[in-house]
Amino acid sequence: MKYRIVADSSSDLNEVNGVSFAAVPLTITVADQTYRDDAALNVSELLTALEHHHGRSGSACPNVNDWLEAFGDSENIFCVTITSSLSGSFNTASIAAKTYTEQHPDRHVFVLDTRSTGAESALLIEKLKDLILAEHEFDTIVSEIKRYHSRTNLLFALGSLHNLANNGRVSHVAAKVTGLLGIRVIGKASQHGTLELLDKVRGAEKMLTSIIRSMKENGFSGGKVRIHHCENREIADKLKERILLLCPNADTIIAPTRGLCSFYAERGGILVGYESTP
Ligand code: X90
């Protein structure tokens, strides 16, 4: 069977080696300029434009045709989207899936609502890749990825909730605590795929301690960790060090956030995807 993974750009992955993969860009608009979140996007430039602009800015999910184009001529497709609670991406992907299978009744499309984004989506895509390379049947891959999803998690630490509040993704009351010098909000993707705020801390040390504590409370005891940072390699490295002190066998990868996650996480923000023990 031929498989392709198609994910929206919120996973921060531009490519996945070893399997057929396509990323479908969301778009970000700052002032009168629209940026496509693809491999050619200069994320630093986007962040600088954002920091210099005090008017409206926002994002938009892929439309049905964008998805259909990325499906190409694949026989079997696993589609991975940002949480349906905060974006229309899952909805447009689902419509594209229905259209595609009506046109090709012998083909299959499974759309996974990650109820998350960024580093957790990256873990799910890696798992899909492993299942595809192990040559499992389509239905087996669907049930295995659902099972795996029940033990993947996302934590985030953000210096500002400004863009999230301005675009209606968190309340302005929640956003108010940030913006104060050095205050960071720690939160997680809730089981409903919304932002759940867990802690607010001042300073990098307290932030790292709070993240590690939340990971342990949520059942982390080794396994995979993906740290996606918005121009904050220093914190990502420190977090990796802490994780390896706790669990020397943890498999950690650090990567930069791409356009969509950078827009909302803002400069300095980090997203941590990790496995909890079954
Ligand atoms: O359709 C669109 O325009 C996309 C809207 C996306 C809104 C939220 C993006 C959040 C990005 C921020 C921290 C992690 C939040 C996790 C929530 C489940 C990253």
* Nearest residue (CA) to ligand 1, atom 14: 156
Q: What percent of the chain has pLDDT over 90?
A: 87
Q: What is the mean pLDDT of the chain?
A: 95
Which DSSP state fits 161? -
Q: What pLDDT is attached to residue 176? A: 73
Q: What pLDDT is attached to residue 256? A: 98
Instruction: State how far the Cα of 121 lies from the Cα of 149, in Å rounded to an integer.
Output: 9
Q: What predicted TM-score, i.e. pTM, was given to this entire model?
A: 0.97
CB atoms within 10 A of CB 79: 26
CB atoms within 10 A of CB 142: 17
CB atoms within 10 A of CB 130: 14
Instruction: State how far the Cα of 26 lies from the Cα of 219, in Å rounded to an integer.
Output: 32
Residue 63 token pair: 């439309």
Residue 75 token pair: 């026989």
Pocket of ligand 1 (CB under 6 A): 26, 59-61, 82-83, 86-89, 116-118, 154, 156, 169, 189, 193, 195, 261, 264-265, 271
Q: How far is the CA of 118 from the centre of ligand 1 (A)?
A: 9
Instruction: State how far the Cα of 81 lies from the Cα of 194, in Å rounded to an integer.
Output: 14
Q: What pLDDT is attached to residue 183? A: 86
Q: What pLDDT is attached to residue 178? A: 67
Which DSSP state fits 193? S
Q: How far is the CA of 8 from the centre of ligand 1 (A)?
A: 12
Instruction: State how far the Cα of 157 lies from the Cα of 207, in Å rounded to an integer.
Output: 8
**Residues 6+ away with beta carbon under 8 Å from 96:** 64, 65, 67, 68, 71, 79, 109
User: Is the pLDDT confidence value at 61 over 80?
Assistant: yes
pLDDT digits (tens, 9 = 90+) for 177-232: 666 667 899 999 999 999 999 999 998 999 999 999 999 999 999 999 999 999 99
From residue 178, alpha-carbon distances to 47, 164, 183 in Å are 18, 12, 6
